[in-house]
Structure 1
Amino acid sequence: MAAAVSEFEPWLIDKLKSLKTDEGVFGSYISGILESEESIDEKKDALEGILSEIVERDISAHVDEIIDKWELCKPKEEIRKSIQDVDIQLNKLLESQSLATTSRREYTDEEKKIREVILSQYSELSDNEENQDKEEVSECQDLIKNTNALDVAAAARERREQGRLEAQRKKEKDKEDREKQKALKEEKKEKRKTQKGERKR
């Protein structure tokens, strides 16, 4: 999604600067959420969580603005292409796994006879049993797809949580730095006052 990124990222950096926050930490985290495969509602919830750390009001307006800009910058053809790429890669992966598990083997005459007997017994299966086998295979395939989706969602959740923790740490550090600067200012003021008082004496 190079085109989307090239238009969106500069806009997001400017947006975060206007909100007076660190665009390096929050920008990559927000981009990560938008690029995830979650629903719009889940993305909005995640963005509201981040923006509540940055701004105090109009959070949903900022979230809507970010989502709208992301949708505008995201070319539809690239979305379709990325979906097709994922499907192609998944098919290749499944094919390579099945090829790796099946290897040619030479059978002895005795093994061939036993094999033929077994195959002839199985060829007498009723249509009903064959259908049951097909259903079991499709259930297994569905289970594999579901676990893949769960793994992707868990990884996305973990990335978001990591970003949220980093943002929280950054916010706390900024707060500490501001407090230190404030304390230094106060200390300098006090020194000036005492120096003026000593000069007057």
Structure 2
Amino acid sequence: MAAAANDFEPWLSDKLKSLKTDEGIFGSYISGILESEESTDEKKDALEGILSEIVEKDISIHVNEIIEKWESTKPKEAASKPSTDVDAQLAKLLESQAPAATARREYTDEEKKIREAILSQYSQLSDNEEDEVHDEISDNHDLVKNTNAADVAAAARERREQARLEAQRKKEKDKEDREKQKQMKEEKKEKRKTQKGERKR
């Protein structure tokens, strides 16, 4: 996988920059999806979910491009290996991810706010959704559902909402400023008229 990461990560980073998005956040989610043991169709669905928050058109073209690049950079021996027992693959995956889980990452203030917003949003699951999650966990022998795509989508929604609110605030402030300037002009005109009237007397 190291060789794949060496070729794929810089390409993905450039790709996300060209889509005018934060490659730091979205790159790791996309890589996580591609490295998972899910089927290609499931990976495509997850990638479409993420990309729909970034771009508005040609989503499937971008998804196919990312999948093709990933497949072409993936080590060949890993691809040609016969599929082993699912439990063995899972154990390997968990072992490879264990060291990464212990390394703590410092978040910026903006990332903390987004994270808190996402957590508060998902803490309000309806009873049905909670039941579904519990069913899935028990079906998967106590495995937790991967919510990367949903987290990314929620973070992107949060950022868009924030930008919309800021734009609205700026619009209102500009309108107020124009009104003040107009009012000041009117007051100056009135003052000049009053002064001219007094001079004539």
Partner SS, residue 157 of structure 1: coil
**Aligned-pair distance for 1:25?**
2.4
1:160 maps to 2:149: yes
1:168 is aligned with what amino acid? R
**Aligned-pair distance for 1:178?**
3.9
- Number of residues of Structure 1 aligned to a counterpart in Structure 2: 143
Q: Which runs of 5+ in 1 are unaligned?
A: 92-146
Instruction: Name the structure 2 match of 1:10.
Output: 10
**TM-score, structure 2 normalization:** 0.54
Partner SS, residue 155 of structure 1: coil
After superposition, the Cα gap between the structure-2 partners of 1:8 and 1:88, relative to the gap in structure 1 and judged at 3 Å, is closer
1: distance between equivalents of 2:4 and 2:138?
26
Q: Which runs of 5+ in 2 are unaligned?
A: 93-136, 193-201
2: distance between equivalents of 1:195 and 1:14?
51
After superposition, the Cα gap between the structure-2 partners of 1:159 and 1:14, relative to the gap in structure 1 and judged at 3 Å, is same
**TM-score, structure 1 normalization:** 0.54
**Aligned-pair distance for 1:16?**
1.6
Alignment RMSD:
3.7
User: 1:104-143 alignment to 2 at 5 Å?
Assistant: none
Q: Percent identity?
A: 54
Instruction: Name the structure 2 match of 1:173.
Output: 162
1:74 maps to 2:74: yes
Q: Point out the structure with the larger helix share.
A: 1
Q: 1:63-115: CA deviations, max 9, x gaps?
A: 1111111111211235568x88x849959xxxxxxxxxxxxxxxxxxxxxxxx
Q: Is the 8 Å Cα contact of residues 49 and 149 (structure 2) preserved in structure 1?
A: no
Instruction: Name the structure 1 match of 2:53.
Output: 53
Instruction: Name the structure 2 match of 1:33.
Output: 33
Larger RCO (CA under 8 A, 6+ residues apart):
1
Higher Cα Rg: structure 1 or 2?
1
